[in-house]
Structure 1
Amino acid sequence: MFNKISAQAQKLVNLANKSTDNIKTNTKLVTITSGKGGVGKSTFTANISYILGSLGYKVAVLDADIGLANMQVLYNIKPEITFFDYIDGKVDNVKDIFVQTPYENITLIAGKSGYEYSSKATSFVFTRIVNDILKLDEFDILLIDTGAGLNEYVKEFLDISPNVLAVTTTDPSALTDVYALMKMISSYKDSLLIAFNHTKSYQTGQAITESIKNLAQKNRLNSNFMLKYLGSVSMSQNIATTGRLRKLFAKEFDGDQTTLELRLIVDNLLNNMKV
């Protein structure tokens, strides 16, 4: 019985993937995830969007942290409408949920803190809203900021995205979660991008990435699966300070080492991004 249910679920996943693949759009889709909470994923996402915007890319950010949305805090705005209003049918046009941020070229599709949506966890409503955004072909890049963990919400966004970026730290539990993510998606994807936060040096992240690759090889994960290291951002008080002030460190400290490190990650992301 379990195998039968799993097979049916996989068919639905494949259908969702196919529906996204068939959309004709120039918008590149990137899902940013972490597994473990508290690694700075949302801060990463907001600052990556700023750097992309400053390079001239038109960016949309979908706050997909279901129930714990906080991207509006990082952008220091108070949206009156969220993408749940579109899902619930309160607005008809997907453009009505687009919120302009104070930053050039960055549009937020806000989530809603404290919102419970478990009744439709398996109905692919999130796939449909992503598809509707992609069909508009108005953005160069759509960044999806997921919640922590590997629940059904997160899995849905991972399934439909050709580009998955895992943000982690050197904390053992965070690395364990990244390996679990890698193990899960290696059965149907060919790569995972990885970047480190609060890490002493580029070389530290690089060495840990190689260790994860070796572990995957030892445990005989998909031999064709690639783990691609994008870079590391070191610890800085400037990141915490700007976060408390609801500002982006990549803007406020443009020449800071951490911003330069994140710019390298963005460059590597652009070079490895699939359509």
Structure 2
Amino acid sequence: MKTRIISIASGKGGVGKSFVTLNLAVELAVQRKKVLLIDADVGLGNIHILVGKNPKYSIADLMEGNCKLEDSLMELVKGNLKILAGGTGFKKMFHMSKEKRSNLFKELKKIQNKFDIVLIDIGAGINKDVISFLELGDEVILVTNPDITAVADAYSLLKSIVNVHTITKNIGVIINKADIDLGEKVFEKLKNVSEKFLKTKLKHIGSIDENRKMAYDSTQKRLPIYYLSPSSKFRKEFYNLSVKIFYNKELHDSKNVSIVTKFMRFLGVDG
């Protein structure tokens, strides 16, 4: 089975993208899927913080050639989930040069067929590095919330995705901090403007209702929702989304893109 690579992005910070990504990764791993979670927010990563880990190496070390992929991964969920940290506290701005991109891509090639699914938690906003990591994915999941500025920024990111990609992308949307009805309304607005102005069809993966207390407790205790409250409605929502992402063929019927083509795009070369 071919390893699926999903890039998960948001138009702005604060929508809960990393929290959602981590909990989806845990749910998939609990179902005995082999999952790799890459924190691609280089220098500002927080996935390792959310699980209370202190990584020896980060994605920056991998790009600088200071370590190998197998030495840089943290393990959770009985080894079914492995995490590559984004790193924090850099003394200077991290620049993702072509050489560093090449180092990372060479290491990531090793995961072919070793994982069922790879989730790339991409830094918020729109910049060259964000677009590069989007190019690595076979699919894109956009996380937003009902806040009008979050939806506007999500649309701006969609425009960048559509303008940059030369292939048809499967773009799914998760509405965070919204019940089913509100989530449907927010998605329909985003869907309609995307179809009208970008000629792009979006897929609604689902919504996650807001639970401030449980989300707060999860981050403070460094425990994903599955471990914090396994029988809760909040946890069930993450489980349902993980099942839909993994098994719904509509979300992963994209054309296969060769590893060479991905390499060229990640390096910023037309190919």
> The TM-score by the shorter chain falls in which range?
0.7 to 0.9
Gaps of 5+ in 1: 1-24
**Does the 8 Å CA contact 1:127/1:160 hold for their aligned counterparts?**
no
- Match for 1:49 among 3, 25, 28? 25
CA contact (8 A) 2:42 2:60 kept: no
Give the drift of 1:55: 0.6
Relative to structure 1, is the Cα distance of residues 58 and 213 closer, same or farther in structure 2, using a 3 angstrom cutoff?
same
Quick one: structure 1 residues 198 and 103, their matched pair in 2 at CA, closer, same or farther if it must change by over 3 Å? Answer: farther
SS in 1 for 2:205: strand
**Number of the residue aligned with 1:202:** 180
Distance 1:53 1:86, change over 3 A: same
Letter in 2 for 1:202: I
Matched, 1:94 2:69: yes
1:235 partner amino acid: E
Residues 77 and 101 in structure 1, CA contact (< 8 A), matched pair in contact too: no
Counterpart residue identity of residue 216, structure 1: S
Residue 94 (structure 1) shift:
2.3
1:114-170 CA distance string (max 9 Å, x none): 33454435x273465245324333211111111111111111011221111111110
Q: Which amino acid aligns with 2:51?
A: Y
How many pairs were matched up?
A: 245
Q: TM-score, normalised by structure 2?
A: 0.83
Q: Which of 157, 161, 164 is 2:137 aligned to?
A: 161
Q: Which amino acid aligns with 1:212?
A: L
- The CA deviation at 1:28 is 0.9
> In 2 relative to 1, CA 169–78 (structure 1 residues): closer, same or farther, beyond 3 Å?
same
Q: Give the TM-score taking structure 1 as reference length.
A: 0.82
Q: Which residue of 1 aligns with 2:267?
A: none
Which of the residues 235, 251, 256 maps onto 2:232? Answer: 256
Q: 1:172-251, aligned counterparts within 5 Å? A: 172-187=148-163, 188=165, 189-199=168-178, 201-219=179-197, 221-222=198-199, 225-236=200-211, 237-251=213-227
Residue type of the alignment partner of 1:208: V
Residue 30 (1) aligns with residue 2 (2): no
Q: Which residue identity lines up with residue 46 of structure 2 in the other structure?
A: N
Please state how far the C-alpha of 1:216 moved relative to its aligned partner. 2.6
The 1:131–1:250 alpha-carbon spacing in structure 2 relative to 1, beyond 3 Å, is farther
Aligned equivalents of 1:213 and 1:184: distance in 2? 16
Q: Distance in 1 between matches of 2:207 and 2:49?
A: 24
TM-aligned CA distance change 1:130 to 1:27, over 3 Å:
farther
Output the amino acid matched with 1:125: K
Output aligned runs, 1:23-172, within 5 Å.
26-91=2-67, 93-101=68-76, 104-115=79-90, 116-121=92-97, 123=98, 125-126=100-101, 129-130=104-105, 132-137=107-112, 138-172=114-148
Cα contact 2:11–2:155 (8 A) shared by 1: no
Judged with a 3 Å threshold, the aligned counterparts in structure 2 of structure 1 residues 256 and 130 are, in CA distance, closer, same or farther, namely farther
Q: 2:153 & 2:106 partners in 1: Cα distance?
A: 28
The separation in 2 between residues aligned to 1:182 and 1:105, in whole angstroms, is 32
State the Cα distance separating 1:59 from its structure 2 match.
0.7
Counterpart for residue 22 of structure 1: none
Cα gap change, 1:250 to 1:102, in 2 (>3 Å): closer
Match in the other structure for 1:267 = 243
Give me the whole-angstrom Cα distance separating, in 2, the residues matched to 1:156 and 1:60: 18
Q: In the aligned structure 1, how far is the partner of 2:136 from the partner of 2:103? A: 10
- Partner residue in 2 for 1:6: none
Structure 1 residues 90-119: Cα deviation after superposition (integer angstroms, max 9, x where no partner): 22x321212223654111111211334544
Measured on the aligned residues, the alpha-carbon RMSD in Å equals 2.0
